[in-house]
Structure 1
Amino acid sequence: MKTFFKANPILTILVGFLLLGIPGQGLQAQEIRVERVQFPPGASTAAIEGAISGRETVDYLLNVRKGQYMNVSLASSNGGVYFNIMEPDAQYEAIHIGSTAGNQFEGVTAKSGDYRVRVYRMKGSGSSAANYMLEMIVSGSGQQSTSGDTVVSGTDYNATGMVPCSMGNGQPTGNCKYGVIRQGNGSGMVTITKSDGRTRTIYFENGKATGYDESQADRASFRASKEYDLYIVHIGDERYEIPDAVINGG
């Protein structure tokens, strides 16, 4: 899982132009359409269907609190359509560049404010309209760590390790890698890497497992219980056994 805690090298405006495939003067001359993203009441996900033609660019403004989990993905009928993400007050210094990193991003926000998700198409990818689906997920309370934990070297996690897991009915239980970001008082996020390389992020608040990184394409049922010092979490047919010490330390 990518996070924002460690600052990436600052990309200059010129580099931003080159990565977008748009000359500097051309970008200044063209109009960028800006749209505000609002989640439906009680929802943590927004899915937007759109289309861009030629060198059109669309900025989606998404208001996020520091410390929240954010997941952005894009699917398009045109392989030359990508998105970049800029932090609040940044115009061209991107923390995610789709043309090099791909059209999937997830991480924990380092700042509060309007994040700019910029959808664009690379030069030479055609001039006819390209349809796309942009999905944005924001969850978590945005609380900051009060645990005083150190961070595992080379990661943004307070701890890493293995937990028992099962990916479906009838499959033997194995072990999956995890990383945890603790926020104190039994709250935090545990990100588990499944055998196929995909990840699950499970959210904890005040000592209870409360949900996961649900998306439009993956709305599996969620249930969780605690047996002594072990959280038993079911997401559809998946099962995870997370010791209390993972989220609380010790």
Structure 2
Amino acid sequence: MKKITVSLMAAAMMTSALAMAAPAWAADNVGKTLSVVAGQAPKQIRGSIRGEGLADYIVHARAGQTLDVSMTSSNGANYFNLLPPGSDEALANGSMLGNKWSGALPADGDYRVRVYLMRSAARRNEAARFTLTLSLHDGARPDAALRHDAKVAGTPYHATGRVPCSVGPDPKGSAQCSFGVIRKGSGRAEVHLASPGQELQGDGIVLEFDGSRVSSASAKQRVFGRHHGDEWEINVNDFYFFNLPDALINGG
């Protein structure tokens, strides 16, 4: 009887230890339902994630309403996806849209805003502190349905933003680099990239994606690309290194 008592006590202690060790974001995977009311002030949520953790926020809305989603973060590899009711296929992908989206909703139901880190940052167990802002409006705004397909104002790009990058011997993905993408459909795209801390310029790095191939039109740029998971790992001249998500190239 004494041995059984000791074993039960040990099991209880182990269960307690495992519960304490569980990551703080685990509860968020279930999804936190938010009260976002059409026509009222935007709802603002502050949170944090680390590594492969996810934070899900659920908004109930009706077909035809317009949802505005925006997010700022301490980590440039931190994005959101908007998932429609009953689906894991993103209606909007923050990594392609500069973490801002506004659009008319196609169906009644619960929309899930999923906050995550890009795979390269997650593998390094990076952390991010984010602020998510949501607002809901009755009726579609005139430009809402097309906004995510339009070009960024004043540019030739369909999307701009920043991606993990590095130069020389610096740790891979330790910096953030500006990008602009011109999508051509069917897995084809032209991606312009700047060095860390620099803005996009015409004489920067220009990559051409065509399905499973990546190249550069410049003879001065030797490009090596490796597709891994849901992103491209790019090496230019053994000096510039970039991580580009598939969604950047294909749209979302």
| TM-score range normalised by the length of the shorter chain | 0.3 to 0.5
TM-score normalised to the size of structure 2? 0.42
Structure with the largest fraction of helix: 2
In our comparison, the structure showing a higher alpha carbon Rg is 2
